[in-house]
């Protein structure tokens, strides 16, 4: 893959969304998270005692036993009749393979993140699993927080790390970390809270959270204006940005590209469940200072230390 091909794909603020159906409602998942679509055969499910209520069991897929989550049960849509021929979408993110049982899949849509709006605060006033709303053919499609769904089942994201616990390699930096001003953008409230908790443990405490990339970039522009008016550099107010890739309004690759073009001294760390070899090329194409899989969250503090000290 050439640099030109990568640049065409990175920072365009577009996403390909697979539309899936539960009852009469359409839901969306990033195509990059999907690996395979198969017909649901109840006889192929192996029930596992004491599983989470929405986990049907496991299924053998490509020489691997993977869990299958019934999305209707998980989202509390049990009052709706299930279709006769249901579908399992096999997904992979955070280096974890999971099957999600849905009524059907419809088609793939290529849309701009600008056309995916954050949900109303009324919707997000509780632990919602909705990260955005997209309008497809005059009908709303709900973008689901699949990381949050997995978080419901296994608990803290750090449990994905095979029990690994981060050891502070440079505890002597703890007093100085509090002076590092950072902004975090992730559309999952669960993930934002876990990231901030992990950073707070290491004394990274000067953090501002945002639920989408556009809101964060707008905040940077406001910060730049403040710095200019006060005769200071923007890095007096902001040192590093930590951003997810998938977000309404503006995705993390576009955010990184815009930040590095306008404010190259601000560090940008991309933290995503989608990090792969191909995605690492895209991160490099938009001049990210670093990138890390959420599966490797135990490395976050040390990576920020490397960038900021």
147 with 170, same domain: the answer is no
37 with 96, same domain: the answer is yes
Give residue 278's pLDDT: 87
Among candidate residues 132, 157, 182, the one where a domain is terminated: 157
168 with 301, same domain: the answer is yes
Tell me, yes or no, whether 69 lies in a domain: yes
Give residue 3's pLDDT: 40
Can you give the residue range of the structural domain that contains 67?
Answer: 13-157
24 with 135, same domain: the answer is yes
Give residue 161's pLDDT: 53
HEC profile for the chain? CCHHHHHHHCCCCEEEEEEEEECCEEEEEEHHHEEEEEECCHHHCECCCCCCCCEEEEEEECCEEEEEEEHHHHCCCCCCCCCCCCEEEEEEECCEEEEEEECEEEEEEEEEHHHEECCCCCHHHCCCCEEEEEEECCEEEEEECHHHHHHHHHCCHHHHHCCCCCCCCCHHHHHHHCCCCEEEECCCHHHHHHHHHHHHHCCCCCEEEECCHHHHHHHHHHHHHHHHHCCCCHHHCCCEEEECCCCCCCCHHHHHHHHHHHCCCCEEEEEECCCCHHHHHHHHHCCCCEEEEHHHHHHHHHHHHHHHC
Q: How many domains does the chain have?
A: 2
Tokens of 189: 């409230």
Per residue in 207-237, pLDDT tens?
A: 999 999 999 999 999 999 999 999 999 999 9
Tell me, yes or no, whether 7 lies in a domain: no
Phi, then psi, of 151 in degrees rounded to 5:
-60, -35
195 with 139, same domain: the answer is no
Highest mean pLDDT among 1-5, 117-121, 148-152, 252-256: 252-256
For residue 124, with 0-12 CB atoms within 10 Å meaning exposed, 13-18 middle and 19 or more buried, which class applies? middle
- Specify the pTM: 0.85
Using pLDDT thresholds of 50, 70 and 90, give the confidence band for residue 78.
confident
Among candidate residues 115, 139, 157, the one where a domain is terminated: 157
What CATH number should be reported for the domain holding residue 111?
2.40.50.180
144 with 184, same domain: the answer is no
Tell me, yes or no, whether 218 lies in a domain: yes
134 with 169, same domain: the answer is no
Tell me, yes or no, whether 129 lies in a domain: yes
Among candidate residues 136, 157, 178, the one where a domain is terminated: 157
Range of weakest confidence among 95-109, 115-129, 199-213: 115-129
Mean of the per-residue pLDDT values of the chain? 89
Q: Is the pLDDT of residue 6 over 70?
A: no
Give residue 1's pLDDT: 39
Phi, then psi, of 208 in degrees rounded to 5:
-120, 130
193 with 66, same domain: the answer is no
Using pLDDT thresholds of 50, 70 and 90, give the confidence band for residue 8.
very low
Tell me, yes or no, whether 250 lies in a domain: yes
Using pLDDT thresholds of 50, 70 and 90, give the confidence band for residue 136.
confident
66 with 84, same domain: the answer is yes
Tell me, yes or no, whether 2 lies in a domain: no
Give residue 50's pLDDT: 93
234 with 153, same domain: the answer is no
């Amino acid at each position: 893959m050439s640099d030109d091909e990568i640049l065409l794909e990175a920072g365009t603020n577009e996403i390909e969304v697979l539309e899936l159906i539960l009852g009469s409602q359409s839901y969306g998942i990033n195509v990059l998270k999907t690996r395979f679509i198969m017909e649901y055969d109840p006889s192929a499910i192996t029930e596992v005692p004491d599983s989470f209520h929405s986990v049907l069991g496991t299924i053998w897929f490509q020489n691997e036993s993977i869990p299958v989550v019934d999305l209707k049960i998980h989202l509390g849509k049990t009052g709706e009749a299930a279709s006769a021929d249901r579908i399992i979408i096999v997904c992979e993110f955070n280096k974890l393979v999971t099957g999600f049982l849905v009524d059907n899949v419809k088609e793939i849509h290529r849309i701009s993140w600008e056309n995916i709006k954050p949900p109303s605060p009324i919707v997000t006033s509780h632990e919602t699993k909705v990260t955005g709303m997209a309008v497809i053919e005059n009908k709303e499609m709900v973008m689901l927080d699949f990381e949050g769904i997995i978080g419901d089942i296994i608990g803290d994201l750090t449990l994905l790390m095979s029990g690994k616990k981060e050891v502070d390699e440079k505890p002597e930096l703890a007093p100085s970390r509090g002076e590092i001003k950072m902004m975090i953008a992730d559309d999952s409230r669960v993930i934002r809270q876990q990231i901030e908790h992990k950073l707070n443990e290491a004394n990274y405490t000067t953090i501002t959270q945002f639920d989408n990339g556009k809101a964060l970039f707008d905040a940077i522009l406001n910060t730049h204006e403040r710095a200019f008016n006060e005769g200071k550099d923007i890095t007096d107010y902001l040192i590093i940005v930590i951003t997810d890739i998938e977000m309404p309004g503006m995705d993390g690759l576009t955010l990184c590209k815009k930040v590095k073009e306008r404010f190259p001294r601000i560090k940008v760390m991309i933290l995503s469940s989608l990090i792969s070899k191909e995605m690492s090329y895209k991160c490099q194409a938009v001049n990210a200072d670093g990138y890390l899989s959420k599966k490797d969250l135990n490395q976050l503090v040390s990576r920020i230390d490397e960038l900021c000290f």
